[in-house]
Amino acid sequence: MRLLVSACALTVLSACSQYSTAPQSSLTAPEFNEARFRQDIQTLSSDKFEGRAPTTHGETLTLDYLSKAFAAAGLEGANGGSYLQAVPMVSYTASEQQQISLGGIPMTYRKDIVMGSRHDTKQVDIKNAPLVFVGYGINAPEYSWNDYQGVDMKGKIAVILVNDPGFALPDSGKFDGKAMTYYGRWTYKYEEASRQGALGAIIIHDTKPAAYPWSVVENSWTGAQQDLVLDKKTQDSRVQVEGWITKDKANALFEKAGLSLATLTDRAASSPVHVALEQEANIAFANKAEYANSYNVVATLPGTSANDEHILFTAHWDHIGIDPSREGDQIYNGALDNASGTAGILEIARQFALQAKNGSPLKRSITFVATTGEEQGLLGSRYYAANPIYPLDKTVAVFNLDSTNIYGRTSDYTVVGKGKSELENYLANAVKAQNRAVVAESRPESGGFFRSDHFSFAKFGVPAVFAGGGSQPVDEATAKYKADMKEKFKGCYHNVCDEYRADWDLSGALEDLGVYFQAAKVLANSNDWPGYYPGTEFHSLRPAKTAVK
Ligand SMILES: [Zn+2]
């Protein structure tokens, strides 16, 4: 699932390079130590760390490195003195030998369909389960939309379109137009099908609304799938099987049912829909579950007068690890993704600690969570949000770093999912002090806001931001450098060539660290409780108490 869940600067925070006039440089934050920042990135992404996969030797080295770095900076271990929070994980592996037929049409594993089970069961054996098309598979009261209205999904398998009606009809005022809402994410589709009591859920792949080709689905959904060990009730209510089917095979299935997928897709965008296909699914495959703990690293710098209130910085320390089946280089070093963000929170931690030591402590506490398992589905952050060391109702805000800017300084500053929360105002003020302009990401339809660790907190109504970088280089020289570096780094997202380079221009990344630092500092010395804007998916979960305008 890696490629599907993790968004990074490469794809989200940077668009085409364009020349613009250079703004005045004005770092509002203290001088970050670039050499030390580079050293951290280089060490964490070195071959010795083996690509930092959860539950491997690479994890042991990473935990040790980060714990020591936080301790050296003067931060406390947040978990009763320890820097580690155990995250119980389970790894599910579905057999490659799968017998699947839908509507009597045999489906070839990988080529036509991918299927797995997030249950600790040795054998999945589903016989003659009715298939029900449920449109986009959305139940969203705030949009007055329920594709499941009046249908009993017990014992049945939901067949679901990817993305949301706003993508199909951007000018209709439905959902958030072209920008993907959480209802468009595949994770939501399975969650909702589970809440509806369905036996299984199959998403119809379509490259445009999914924003990635079938090959990504195939690579991400085959082999071991790491997940959190859930409480029994949540676990039991999950669908037995979850999968994806190619559009070609879905077309064939709908034809078999005497229906047109194209027509139904149109209908599903204009109003909620469900249609029994009057066809059955037969699914059989062997399954394996293996258990192991991974760890979040959590360090805190206690505040003075309001030290029970916390501002969080998150960055995932994990990456993909080693693939022994590869020819040549087998190590996914993850230098940009996300040794850079991890090094970023270390640098911010050091600066806050230094200022506190030099007589400028903050009123509120600042807490750093280096998360595990982001690449496997935001696992570490999901675990922390469900089992917080400091209560979420005392957690003021979350600043997430996932892949810093390596393309030099920009005159703009990208906020992913812009328009969601009042927390953006604190960023905007800090950005303004750097004479830069806040902009939205270039492709909100790909759902970047839901694809890194901040989202795990948004789901609980805690204001969380994912921001940095921009698309406008500050001058011609930077634009040229950016074009060159883009070429050198082409194809390296989630690939073995995501390695540290001494010729990276990190000046833009350091400015971005300054924005987070300054925004958090203002918030940490205030009594403000920013919230999500009314009308967004998360507002009702925790309305704002007070915030700067
Ligand atoms: Zn990442």
Q: What is the 3-state secondary structure (H, E, C) of 52-79?
A: CCCCCHHHHHHHHHHHHHHHHHCCEECE
Ligand 1 centre to CA of 345 (Å) is 14
Ligand 1 centre to CA of 374 (Å) is 7
Ligand 1 centre to CA of 494 (Å) is 9
Tell me what pLDDT residue 16 has: 29
127-147, pLDDT tens digit by residue? 999 999 999 999 999 899 999
Q: Who contacts 145 (Cβ-Cβ below 8 Å, separation ≥6)?
A: 138, 139, 165, 175, 272
Tell me what pLDDT residue 249 has: 98
Ligand 1 centre to CA of 537 (Å) is 23
Q: For the chain, state the CA radius of gyration.
A: 23
Which residues pair with residue 125 across a beta bridge? 284
Q: Assign 126 to helix, strand or coil.
A: strand
Ligand 1 centre to CA of 402 (Å) is 5
Residue 451 per-residue DSSP state: S
Query: Considering only CA atoms, which of 381, 396, 353, 450 is closest in space to residue 33?
Result: 353
Q: Assign 511 to helix, strand or coil.
A: helix
Q: How far apart (Å, rounded) are the C-alpha atoms in residues 521 and 65?
A: 26
Ligand 1 centre to CA of 348 (Å) is 18
Ligand 1 centre to CA of 395 (Å) is 23
Asked if residue 475 has pLDDT above 70, the reply is yes
Ligand 1 centre to CA of 454 (Å) is 11
Ligand 1 centre to CA of 403 (Å) is 6
CA dihedral 344, 350, 355, 359 (to 10 degrees): 160
Ligand 1 centre to CA of 222 (Å) is 20
Tell me what pLDDT residue 205 has: 98
Tell me what pLDDT residue 8 has: 39
Ligand 1 centre to CA of 251 (Å) is 34
CA distances from 227 to 87, 128, 324 (A): 10, 28, 22
Lowest mean pLDDT among 16-25, 82-91, 153-162, 244-253: 16-25
Query: Considering only CA atoms, which of 158, 239, 148 is closest in space to residue 199?
Result: 239
Exposure string of 329-340, with b = 16+ CB inside 10 Å and e = fewer, is eebbbbbbbbbb
Q: What amino acid is encoded at 345 in this protein? A: I
Ligand 1 centre to CA of 500 (Å) is 15
**DSSP string over 10-57:** TTTT-------PPPPP---S----HHHHHHHHHHHTSGGGTT--TTSH
Q: Which two tokens stand for residue 403?
A: 């892949």
Ligand 1 centre to CA of 64 (Å) is 21
Mean pLDDT of 120-128: 97
Q: What amino acid is encoded at 398 in this protein? A: V
Ligand 1 centre to CA of 290 (Å) is 24
Asked if residue 460 has pLDDT above 70, the reply is yes
Ligand 1 centre to CA of 184 (Å) is 20
Ligand 1 centre to CA of 41 (Å) is 14
Ligand 1 centre to CA of 332 (Å) is 12
Ligand 1 centre to CA of 248 (Å) is 31
Q: How far apart (Å, rounded) are the C-alpha atoms in residues 428 and 434?
A: 10
Residue 339 per-residue DSSP state: I
Ligand 1 centre to CA of 161 (Å) is 26
Ligand 1 centre to CA of 6 (Å) is 5
Q: How far apart (Å, rounded) are the C-alpha atoms in residues 498 and 479?
A: 21
Ligand 1 centre to CA of 83 (Å) is 22
383-439, pLDDT tens digit by residue? 999 999 999 999 999 999 999 999 999 999 999 999 999 999 999 999 999 999 999
Do β-strands 275-301 and 84-94 pair in parallel, antiparallel, or remain unpaired? antiparallel
Ligand 1 centre to CA of 319 (Å) is 8
Ligand 1 centre to CA of 2 (Å) is 9
Q: What percent of the chain is modeled with pLDDT above 70?
A: 94
CB 473 within 8 A of CB 412: no
pLDDT tier, 549 (very low <50, low <70, confident <90, very high otherwise): low
Ligand 1 centre to CA of 459 (Å) is 19
311-360, pLDDT tens digit by residue? 999 999 999 999 887 899 999 999 999 999 999 999 999 999 999 999 99
Asked if residue 30 has pLDDT above 70, the reply is no
Between 6 and 464, where is the model more confident? 464
Ligand 1 centre to CA of 316 (Å) is 7
